Amino acid sequence: MRYDTKETILVTGAAGFIGSHLVERLRLRRERLLCLDNFDPYYAKELKEQNLRQALDGDDSCFVEGDIRDRALLERLFSRHEITTVIHLAARPGVRASIENPLPYFDINVSGTLALLETGRAFGLRKFIFASSSSVYGENGGAPANEESTACHPLSPYGASKVAAEIACETYSRLCDMTTISVRPFTVYGPRQRPDMAIGRFTKLISEGREVTIYGNGDALRDFTFISDIVSGVEAALTIRLDGYRVFNLGRGEPVSVLQAVRLIEEELKAKAMLRFLPAQIGDPLVTRADISKARASLGYQPTVSIHEGIAQYVRWFREGTNPTLSGVVRTIG
């Protein structure tokens, strides 16, 4: 059963990779959106401004620059706008960076999530959709990760912070009449992805004739999932009526090796990669593989973009490139 969401949807992390694509999709549905982002310096603000410019398509009236940990800001937004749903994508990303500097991950990913949940509870929020991560699973021997039967044993502070935030979401679903949904994306890639992510990093280095570093022997399997499929999963979580606390994997369930992904990029670029193999890094599981049967049954989730098609789309986007004027692309409202 589907229902229309005519009230305001607050999207946090709206200028990021997944956030900007989701905003674009929801604007096509003519949803009433309030977009929040603090332009965290994990990567260049200019790239996020460019994402936002494309997502908002010239209409900057629904954007607020601010931090999810700022309770006064959140209370002001909830009091001024009829926010009935939060799609919470804002987070400090990066598995390896979290091992080197874990404290910001718990501050932003856990405390920030709690601030949103608590503000939502005070204002009668109906639905809270949280972007978790496949990193919550850790290493499980290569079997498809299942939401109900696969235990969460994260290998990094980043993954641990997502587990903690998921538990907070479940707790608030019990405390108040709020549906909370955690979605666990698997190795998302596509246009606008962060520059430190594998597909984008490999493509740039190969195109420039520079050395490509691979940790391990290249046989590690990743459940690469194209951005449009992830957005479709989040959109389904928004539009389908669900109660209580739910958790869903969003992946393809068809992992490929890192080396195979490199070879596909080589084919699209018509260039040869100069590979350098280094020891596997701590925090990286050997295999990520999603069991998507629950999302398929409950959300109608069905990924459609193969790794071949997805990399072809990404390389086309990479080759086209855009250099819009970035100054003054957004104004903020409170």
What's the whole-number mean pLDDT along residues 191-195?
95
Q: What is the dihedral of CA 95, 99, 100, 101, to 10 degrees?
A: 90
pLDDT at position 117 over 60:
yes
pLDDT of residue 283: 86
Supply the pTM of this predicted model: 0.93
Kindly list the structural domains of the chain, giving each domain's residue range(s) and its CATH number in brackets, ordered by start: 8-320 (3.40.50.720)
Contact 31, 7 (CB under 8 A): no
> How high is the pLDDT of residue 323?
36
Confidence grade of residue 60 (pLDDT, cut at 50, 70, 90): low
pLDDT in tens, 204-221: 999 999 999 999 999 999
Report whether pLDDT(139) > 90.
Answer: yes
| Residue 213, φ and ψ in degrees, nearest 5 | -90, 130
In this prediction, residue 6 has a pLDDT band, given cuts at 50, 70 and 90, of low
Strands 245-250 and 179-185, bridge-based pairing: parallel
Does residue 289 carry a pLDDT above 80?
yes
CA distance 272 to 277: 15
Q: How many CB atoms lie within 10 A of CB 155?
A: 18
Provide the CA 39 distance to its chain's centre, in angstroms. 15
The CA-based angle 23-125-302, given to 5 degrees, is 45
In this predicted structure, the answer to whether residue 1 has a pLDDT above a threshold of 80 is: no
| pLDDT above 70: percentage of residues in the chain | 93
Q: What is the pLDDT of residue 3?
A: 36
- Per-residue pLDDT band for 326 (boundaries 50, 70, 90) equals very low
Which residues are known to be catalytic?
158
> Could you give the C-alpha distances from 68 to 36, 52, 65, 108, 166, in angstroms and in order?
8, 18, 10, 8, 16
pLDDT at 176: 93
